[in-house]
């Protein structure tokens, strides 16, 4: 395991339940849910064009077409709710999004990106 320190203070979660950061050139969604921290890749598995940044409870909502993911395990909760106007070869989302272990260390988060 390689935990990378991200410059995200845990105090930010007093104001919001989630934040997107970049780790190893990839967007990662950090969420606090029920007192625990979670990290999940932040690119939607539908068309890959949307970065997940809105979390309701433990569900990240894709801003493009409304698919939902469980931030605790990356599993799809619901399919896209809006059909894209552009031709799209993907009707459903199969693979869960990748999740990463998170540690809290002296008020900052560390994420295992391996």
Region of 6-14, 25-33, 44-52, 96-104 interacting with ligand FES (CB under 6 A): 44-52
| String marking each residue 84-113 x if it binds ligand FES according to CB under 6 A | ------------------------------
SS3 12: helix
- Point out which residues pair with 110 in neighbouring strands: 5, 103
The residue (of 98 and 101) whose beta carbon lies closer to ligand FES is: 98
d(CA 31, CA 19): 7
- Helix H or strand E segment including 32: strand 26-33
- Compose the 1-40 pattern: x for residues touching ligand FES by CB under 6 A, - for all others: ----------------------------------------
Closest by CA position to 101, among listed 38, 43, 41: 38
């Amino acid at each position: 395991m390689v935990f990378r320190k991200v410059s995200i203070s845990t105090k930010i979660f007093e104001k919001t339940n989630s934040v997107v950061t970049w780790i190893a050139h990839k967007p990662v969604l950090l969420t606090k849910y029920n007192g625990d921290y979670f990290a999940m890749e932040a690119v939607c598995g539908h068309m890959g064009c949307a970065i997940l940044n809105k979390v309701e409870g433990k569900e990240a909502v894709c801003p493009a077409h409304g698919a939902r993911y469980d931030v605790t395990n990356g599993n799809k909760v619901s399919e896209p709710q809006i059909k894209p106007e552009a031709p799209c070869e993907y009707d459903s989302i199969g693979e869960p999004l990748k999740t990463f272990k998170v540690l809290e260390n002296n008020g900052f988060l560390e994420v295992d990106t391996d």
